Amino acid sequence: MGDFFERVVDLEVTGEEAGTLAARMVDWMVAEGVITRETTGDAMYSLPVDVGHVPGPGWTRAVADDSDPSWFPGPVAVLVGRDHHVGGQGQHAADTATCPRCGVSTVVIDYPESFEADDEVWQPFMDGIEAWRKTGRGEVACSACEALVPVTEWEFGPGFDLGALAFDFWGWPPLSVRFLAEFRARLGHRTEGQSGKF
């Protein structure tokens, strides 16, 4: 049913704990019948993960509206490991980055003048994110207050999040409020939702 996704990103789990938590979430969704242990690479684009879980017989329990009998959702991909996650379509940088110390926002993509990231502005964030991906630690100095702030504490614009665990629901009808609330409670961390198209 198309090449769009709804994503939940865990913003707080550590890279070390992400695998165990992912396995626990899969066990729960399998037990609920939302997904199966069978995997497929069809109709999903969650690189670098190339397969996702095939929906289970109880997949409708997870969605807000299951009234379209012809709708059968695609796989659910589980992305384990520190990474940046982007929503939208083909977005690669955050629109803005706001310093949690002084509250000053740095504009990365200067809409509507430009639809591309200002490389000079974005480069320190890319470097900090790359260091965090590799080691679990990465910082960017704020150009306004000069504080050295961990990349995970910067507030990025919508559709750009850092996390060590994410779930991509490919081609699913919108997930229900109830399912998402239980999903978040079971993660036990702050989360962010994204959606996008391949």
| Residue 145 in contact with Zn ion, rule: CB under 5 A | yes
Stretch that binds Zn ion, among 32-40, 41-49, 80-88, 136-144 (CB under 5 A): 136-144
Near Zn ion by CB under 5 A: residue from 142, 162, 166, 175? 142
Near Zn ion by CB under 5 A: residue from 61, 101, 133, 184? 101
Taking the complex as a whole, how short is the minimal distance between the CB of residue 144 and Zn ion, in angstroms? 5
| Residue 62 in contact with Zn ion, rule: CB under 5 A | no
- Whole-angstrom CA distances from 51 to 39, 59, 85, 97, 156 are 6, 18, 17, 32, 28
Near Zn ion by CB under 5 A: residue from 31, 64, 102, 181? 102
- Whole-angstrom CA distances from 50 to 14, 44, 62 are 22, 8, 23
List of E strands, 41-114: 52-55, 76-86, 96-98, 105-107
Is 184 exposed, middle or buried, given 0-12, 13-18 or 19+ CB atoms closer than 10 A?
middle
Stretch that binds Zn ion, among 5-13, 82-90, 96-104, 116-124 (CB under 5 A): 96-104
Q: Using CB under 5 A, list all residues that contact Zn ion.
A: 99, 101-102, 142, 144-145
